[in-house]
Chains A and B, each alone.
Chain A
Amino acid sequence: MCGIIGFMSRTGRLISGDRIATALNCLKERGNGEGSGYVGYGIYPDYKDDYAIHVFLDATKDYDKIRHEVEEVLVKYGYILKDEEIPTEEGIIKKEQVSWRFFYRFDEKYKSVEEDMMVDIVMDINAKIDGAFVFSSGKNMGVFKAAAWPLEVAEYFKIDQYKGFQWLSHARYPTNTKGWWGGAHPFNLLGWSVVHNGEITSYGANKRYVESFGYKCKLLTDTEVVAYLFDLLIRKHKIPVEYAMSALAPRFWDEIESMSKEDKKIHEAIRMTYGGATMNGPFGIVVGTQEGMAFMNGEVEEGNTMVGLTDRIKLRPLVAAEKDDLLFVSSEESAIRKICPELDRVWMPDAGRMVIAKLEKKI
């Protein structure tokens, strides 16, 4: 279950969010109306060098007080340039959470460690402030999600009013935990946004692994841990992206044995060192980053970046396609065809192989 559709323009063309909503609606039967979400990159050009922090505040009479607690954490380390309730269309869905956004800049003295500090802030707010969850914390990007059907969420958040060079979306069918706003996808930390189809049976091991590096898994869902794994491996440990992917869905030992001496040494070291990051169970994953996106299942594409990943024996579907400067990835080809009927190339990446698509220029 769960539907995934994402696309990016390698040239950085800005595309209206209504396209992604139309595509995701095509996958509505893969969800059950208990969670849908979108993430757009490049949507806040006016604040492109500042953090856009999206926070769920429990929609109770105390929400002002909760928001104030969040502000208190933020102002300790920097400046709130602007904050407001994310514009929503009333009457579409029951407002269980108030969605608030802060445009935020760190004090100059924290510049060199601001990403680590932002991770700490997110973990702190999620763990310590009752009734507040940060669900998006990157620059020039934002997540919009709720427990509802794809079109309801798109209309509620007025997705058609945003323009981005890259969009990912997800229709959820929750199987492990209840459907709630925080549990909807995408999951995000800094620039990493993850949408995921499947269940990660290694969740307990992965959770304990990232928690030993200070991450706090508070959103009760396996996908949360994937966002933290990407942040840990690629940003903090600076593992080359293809090797980080190999840590998450490692080569089988038989394959490693038949590699060249040097590759064997690397892949053996990856499995020994990052065993706690190995993901098991059925999954198709697409990860958005500030530079592009990647998805597992497929060969490494030269000069490309959007991350997608499926499990090592491909228990979940993932299809990729290209049209001019656009790269698509989805759990179903129909969702891609819905918004782009004519495609230059369509392919189904192999199990456990990644596809990475990079932007041709920095946005």
Chain B
Amino acid sequence: MIPSTVPPKYKVFVDPERCMLCERCTTECSWGVYRRQGNKILTYPNRCGACLRCASLCPRDAITVTLNQSCGREHPVWTPEVKQDVVTQAKSGCILLSGMGNAKEYPIYFDKIVLDACQVTNPSIDPLREPMELRTYVGKKPEKLEFDYVEEEIDGKKVKKAKLKTKIAPNLKLDTPIMIGHMSYGALSLNSHKAMAKAVKECGTFMGTGEGGLHRDLYGYSDNIITQVASGRFGVNSEYLNKGAAIEIKIGQGAKPGIGGHLPGEKVSAEVSMTRMIPQGSDAISPAPHHDIYSIEDLAQLIRSLKEATRWKMPVFVKISAVHNVSAIANGIATSDADAVVIDGFKGGTGAAPKVFRDNVGIPIEVAIAAVDDRLREQGNRHKISIIASGGIRNSADVFKSIALGADAVYIGTAAMVAMGCTVCGRCYTGQCAWGIATQKPELVKRLEVDDAARRVANLIHAWTHEIQELLGAAGINSIESLRGNRDRLRGVGLSEIELNTLGIKQAGM
């Protein structure tokens, strides 16, 4: 084995004064950082990813994990991380893998956008006393309604009555504009999926299955499930498609635009293998393209096939990564019978992606929403398709700003995982998740208590929903449809003129 030439990223310290040698750290750490030797706990910090399971569960608070900054010459370009990556690749000759979202310091436009509020002449609305309506329908809408007029006799008088002639396409009804995005069974544990399913059912919203099929234990939640069809077609059959309320075709993912997916064979347990319909222990590789989709026409064919397979009863979404020509692609998707386009920004999370993709490919979700909403409206196609934004939605303000920029609803991913206990250590691809979230190891999976995790996720969605209601009230708005695309309620701070124009918002003070 080629030895490492850089020191560990983290420093792990067990305070001997506090440690009572209970050895809990040795069992809780799934990475093998701790080992007892005599009356001491030895540490192997080069294995540590700072998931903080040990420090969180140490009964004596004896463990501290800190960034190791004590050695090596400081250099603004050749940072410890850059050096570590070079050394790792020099050792392995392989692509570097990473988990979670983009870890570089790109501007977060959400943080440079502020919200407007009402004062005196346009009174704010008190959400405690007035209805505050967040109900959102995701799917295709007619451009206009048409009515037939029929004569009816009421109390002996002939009255002309308008009857609705237009048939509304199937839509998903959301009680809150927050859904949980697609994270597959395989990448995540079954307990994680069960917890999220319970949470979305309670909140009147939806979760995506990801590309890993749908475990039978989740069939009871089918009214709140969006199934996914990715290029690998894992777990896709008629029963699966009909066990959801909507279907999503995954073309791209914000964390890794332009490439497929990879679930390492170590995570393909017996249950995962049955659900995905692949051999146990085999790598599950989704190719970069769908090999039956090379144009919008091909996409339209698949959409119609899926609609046919589900008797035209459910909406079909198409998920794409946010890339520079996303608006033209989304407009094409709008004309292809799809009911919603999911745009996934480059801060979106992932179980496993080449680090070079995660950190360098794609564009921010904020500008993608603005561009897509603009283009769809210019082309008269906005009603044909809903916009779901995802990739780096961190709080209710991000949800609010996404909708004001033009989205109908959002997907959250990392936030739901953090609610369950994830510490964003970014090593999901190893299958060693010490919190039982991104792993298939039975001893780790059972660490995630389903009801408790479901409660946390539901609480998070409820909390954000309350905050959105408060923000709406402050903006003098009592129904979410009046926020959608209402960029007038946003102002930019610290953005250049071209950035303001791209986002379609005014500078603060104007």
Contact = CB atoms under 8 A, between A and B. Distances in A.
B479 A280 contact: yes
B168 interface: yes
Nearest to A237: B144
Interface string B358-394: 0000000000000001000110101100000000000
Contacts of A269: 142, 145, 164, 166, 168
B147 A239 contact: yes
B463 to A, nearest CB: 22
Interface string A242-257: 0100000010111000
B27 to A, nearest CB: 51
A274 B146 CA distance: 12
A204 B481 contact: no
Contacts of B482: 201-202, 205-206, 275, 278-280
Contacts of B476: 199, 201, 280-282
B122 A252 contact: no
Nearest to B118: A201
B478 interface: yes
Given A212-B380, A253-B133, A271-B481, A204 B489 contact: yes
Interface stretch (B123-131, B284-292, B343-351): B123-131
B147 A240 contact: yes
A19 to B, nearest CB: 29
B488 A204 contact: yes
Given A205-B481, A205-B485, A272 B164 contact: no
Contacts of A271: 481
B382 A250 contact: no
A207 B487 CA distance: 10
Contact of B485 (A208, A262, A272, A282): A208
Contacts of A312: 478
B315 to A, nearest CB: 13
Given A201-B122, A205-B482, A243 B168 contact: no
B485 A209 contact: yes
Contacts of B273: none
B484 interface: yes
B162 interface: yes
Contact of A1 (B121, B162, B166, B487): B121
Interface in B231-281: none
Contacts of A252: 131, 133
Contacts of B478: 280, 312-313
A239 B486 contact: no
Interface of A: 1, 175, 198-199, 201-209, 211-213, 236-240, 243, 250, 252-254, 262, 265-266, 268-276, 278-282, 312-313, 315
Contact of A282 (B123, B146, B382): B123
A196 to B, nearest CB: 12
B163 interface: yes
Contacts of B477: 201-202, 280-281
Interface string B38-70: 000000000000000000000000000000000
A276 B488 contact: no
B465 to A, nearest CB: 15
Contacts of A175: 121-122
B135 interface: yes
Interface string B471-483: 0000111110111
Nearest to B137: A272
Contacts of B485: 204-205, 208-209, 276
A237 B165 CA distance: 13
B486 A211 contact: no
B174 to A, nearest CB: 12
Interface in B428-481: 475-479, 481
Contacts of A265: 164
B138 to A, nearest CB: 10
B176 to A, nearest CB: 13
Contacts of B166: 269, 273
A205 B486 contact: yes
Contacts of B121: 1, 175, 199
B479 to A, nearest CB: 6
23 contacts: A199-B122, A201-B475, A201-B476, A204-B485, A205-B484, A208-B485, A208-B486, A211-B377, A213-B380, A236-B144, A239-B144, A240-B162, A250-B479, A253-B133, A253-B135, A269-B168, A272-B141, A273-B143, A273-B145, A280-B477, A280-B479, A281-B477, A282-B476
